Structure 1
């Protein structure tokens, strides 16, 4: 029986730092731009472990996951292929340093996020900010 085809599982992490800041990475590979730290889930890896690993690889930060924000699955969210991303909110301390797939990692104040952001990350950050301020998540 052939393997079923479907979306690729990914993770993204909204990393919160002291001073009401959020971490973004400048992508090394296409599509270009600033984005949330994240990437593909490895075979045999949980989405939680993938989120912590990707955050560490791209920012050098040890992240403690606090919330599963949402699962984003719009087939148009990634121009390379259909992905399904579990997005987490986590906290860390220290200053980010870009590595791995990230040319640069930087903490931004919520009111000073760069634009445009890669993928659907502007939407995700809006959802995260609303959740942090009100405790409400988007609805299906």
Structure 2
């Protein structure tokens, strides 16, 4: 029996520092080229979602996440213009290393005030949910 056609799976990581700033990456590639986004990406075959979040964070920012807490699952079929992509989002306030842009991130920035900031996908919703967990 053939496998069913299913959505793609991604993992995103919300990194919050002690000043409640959120680490964002400026996207180097479409979709949402030049927009800010959470570090994250596609889960590889045979990889746990938590491991994918840690891997993507390290690849894009050079940071290592020590502890991850589940923020939520984001699965609206229209959340990604490439197709139906479900994302599992995690929160950490314990990321170690020096943040630097790498892989498909053009830059890394710490953001506290999101007014007027162009944010990719539904990452504004994910950030709001994550910050509500630590209030």
Same fold (TM over 0.5): yes
The gaps in structure 2 that reach 5 residues or longer are none
For residues 131 and 18 of structure 1, the distance between their equivalents in structure 2, rounded to whole angstroms, comes to: 14
1:106 aligned to 2:109? yes
- Normalised TM-score (structure 1): 0.87
For residues 3 and 122 of structure 2, the distance between their equivalents in structure 1, rounded to whole angstroms, comes to: 28
Aligned to 1:130: 132
Contact 2:59-2:103 within 8 A present in 1 as well: yes
SS in 2 for 1:122: helix
Range with bigger deviation, 34-43 or 10-19: 10-19
CA distance change for structure 1 residues 113 and 125 in 2, over 3 Å: closer, same or farther?
farther
Q: Of 46, 49, 58, which aligns to 2:48?
A: 46
1:8 aligned to 2:11? no
- Normalised TM-score (structure 2): 0.90
1:75 aligned to 2:77? yes
Between the two proteins, the alignment pairs up a number of residues equal to 132
The gaps in structure 1 that reach 5 residues or longer are 134-140
Contact 2:59-2:102 within 8 A present in 1 as well: yes
CA distance change for structure 1 residues 95 and 21 in 2, over 3 Å: closer, same or farther?
farther
RMSD across aligned positions (CA): 1.5
Aligned to 2:99: 96
